[in-house]
Structure 1
């Protein structure tokens, strides 16, 4: 199975909130669940999946190695700990969550360990997240582009990350758009509202349809059943070239995820 185009993001969801969201998501038909070590919700997600009765081979589970676990002696043990929490013997994809801050841990040390985790069968695919062109280029040199299943980066109507997108496309690397709904800002945008009205769709559905038509994987997050259902149906919406152009014009390089340890963005 390739990476399912629509996944359920679980960033900022903890405890009962994440359990409810994933439980409802699985019931509605989501089969791609995205988590990370730093989200501190792998245990709850593992429990919900175990209780759901959904066969493991129907699911696509992604987790991410946190920056504190990039040292070679920590990386694989940290993934094994994630697997214990998730109650699984493997995940479908493991990403490096962020490049090492200031490249303190050289990529030459942690990327080969991630590849080793794949060779050990702990993860079916490996990839990266928040990698700049410079980081992505080095990663390709180290492990080969064919081993990089995705680069998960912030992409939404107000921040298109075009340079990274073009570089990834040139090298055949799938991009996954996180924060695709710009933490709810798309709902208030008049352009997206107008396109939505024309299609009898929500601004969120319009946004996700736009990203899907551009070939991205999307991992929107929601705790509301109706929103979860709407997001999953976004793939049925077909936007015109005029719609696509109108959304393209919303770009204003508005980055939301920019922690102090982030790399120098392109």
Structure 2
């Protein structure tokens, strides 16, 4: 399961359904072609309906992406409400997802409270990767750099899922980005960490700003204050509850006071 978006797991039944749907769509396309030759006006209407459905889905996905990148944790949780009601093992997973949303937006106290509310047991133990990712974020933002690095090391050394190349690549990218984030705030970044963080911010909209702030810290450490400023362009006005408010003000202040070494 993708722990940055509830309900995105794809069980075997879903994969079978997608395969059947693909075959069915191919058959429908062939039938539609024959239909268009004999009833062109009706075919145009059918095509219009199909296009409208596809466009509607595309717009919906774009809207969700904007919400996830907005930094508005209340809007994020509202957009997840239906999925969280249907999520398996809700006593454990719903609080974990809420904690992840709060952490991704810098609401540390709320994230800790949600995490404390999650039911312990077999499901909690099975969610080790999710918990290590979340712990890495929280410990980093709380300033416990050594503990954050230790959690991140454990995360990147977990076994990878077998097969499923796209899922495997996504898991590896998120783990690596979490480790890069912990290194950035510990001022121990490695070559390529900034690109890794920026890539993760684009591919995983929920952690867009978490990854951008980490990349901005690296830019400041390297004397590229102009890049740090660009990375924070468009950031929302963070509320007092979010640690990102303090991060933003500090990075802006450092960028303003220190001339960029890369200009």
Q: More helix by proportion, 1 or 2? A: 2
Q: Is the structural similarity TM-score above 0.5?
A: no
> With structure 2 as the length reference, what TM-score do the two structures score?
0.30
Which of these two proteins has the greater Rg computed from alpha carbons?
2
